[in-house]
């Protein structure tokens, strides 16, 4: 399938289908990571991160894919792996061209979201479920209350706020520890 069709799948909200098409590029990314001393599991993780970054950028209204999916994913994967290995020298960072800066920026930006994800994972299962239903299933508090057996919408809403506050606390603490 060509890039245009994959792009259309993303636009139509058929993300999972688009990802499965992009997985045809995985063997090349795997070869890259293996050639840089990584393991198969590393390659799988790197490719997953690259897909998440690609998806995030495609959702941005100002993003325009200027290369093929393969070039984009290959470059982003290379940056993710190098960053994970902490192998960027100051010299390299200085000599980045515009596109490389963009890739590098995406990788760094994603780290924030990774921390937030970890904060979310540290929440209890019930909190995780509540936030997922609200933010990703876009369910109303009435529906959430019914599904999660809260006595009222208001309690569901309060509980959601508490969960969110707890996640923020965890995130802030981890950010602080990291800095």
Partner 1 sequence: MENNVQNIELINNYLNKTLSEEVLKVFENRLKTDEVFKTQFDEHVILIEGIKRQTLKIEIKKAKQFYTKNKWLKYFGFGALILLIIWVCFNLFSSKQNGLGDTLNFESDFIQNYQVAVDSIVEIVGVKGTLVRFNPKDLEMLSGATFSGDSLSVEVIELTTKQELLFANAQTVSHGKWLISGGVFKIDIKSNGKSLLLKDGKTIDVKFPKKTDEKEMQLFYGERNNLNRMNWTESKIKFLDEEKYYTIFYRDTSVIDKILTKRYGVDCFKEVILIDSLGYLTLNDIKAKYPEIKSFENQKDTLRILKRFVYEEIHEDYIEDDVGLRKTDSTRIELVKREDFNKVWQWSENIDDLDVISEKVAETYVNYTNQFYKSVKISKLGWINIDKYSKEDNMSNVKFNFNIKTDYDEVFLIDERNNTILNVYDKEFNIPKNRSFYIIAIGIKGKEMYGYKKSVRFNANQKFRIDYKKITETQIKSILTITL
Give the footprint of partner 1 on this chain (CB under 8 A): 15-20, 22-24, 26, 44, 48, 51-52, 55-56, 112-121, 131-132, 135-136, 138, 157-158, 161, 164-165, 167-168, 171-172
CA–CA distance, 25 with 5 (Å, rounded to integer): 15
> Can you say how many angstroms the Cα of residue 87 is from the centroid of all Cα atoms in its chain?
22
Closest approach of partner 1 to the CB of residue 108, in Å: 13
Backbone dihedral angles phi then psi of residue 14, each to the nearest 5 degrees: -90, 65
Give the nearer residue to partner 1 in terms of CB position, either 17 or 36: 17
Cα separations in angstroms, 130 against 139, 141, 155: 10, 10, 12
- Contacts of 156-161 spanning 24+ positions with Cβ under 8 A: 156/130, 159/127, 159/130, 160/130, 160/131, 160/134
Closest approach of partner 1 to the CB of residue 90, in Å: 28
Give the nearer residue to partner 1 in terms of CB position, either 68 or 158: 158
Closest approach of partner 1 to the CB of residue 95, in Å: 30
Give the nearer residue to partner 1 in terms of CB position, either 55 or 96: 55
CA–CA distance, 26 with 146 (Å, rounded to integer): 42
Give the nearer residue to partner 1 in terms of CB position, either 96 or 123: 123
Closest approach of partner 1 to the CB of residue 155, in Å: 13
């Amino acid at each position: 399938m060509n890039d245009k069709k994959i792009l259309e799948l993303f636009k139509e909200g058929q993300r999972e289908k688009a990802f499965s098409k992009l997985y045809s590029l995985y063997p090349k990314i795997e070869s890259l990571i293996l050639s840089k001393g990584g393991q198969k599991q590393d390659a799988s993780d790197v490719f997953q991160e690259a897909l998440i970054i690609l998806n995030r950028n495609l959702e941005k209204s100002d993003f325009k894919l200027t290369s093929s999916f393969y070039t984009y994913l290959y470059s982003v994967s290379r940056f993710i792996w190098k960053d994970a290995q902490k192998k960027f020298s100051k010299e390299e960072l200085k000599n980045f061209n515009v596109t490389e800066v963009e890739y590098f920026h995406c990788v760094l930006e994603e780290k924030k979201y990774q921390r937030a994800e970890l904060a979310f994972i540290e929440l209890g299962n019930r909190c995780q479920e509540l936030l997922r239903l609200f933010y990703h299933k876009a369910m109303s508090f009435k529906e959430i209350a019914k599904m999660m057996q809260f006595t009222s919408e208001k309690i569901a809403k309060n509980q959601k706020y508490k969960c969110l506050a707890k996640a923020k606390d965890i995130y802030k603490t981890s950010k602080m520890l990291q800095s």
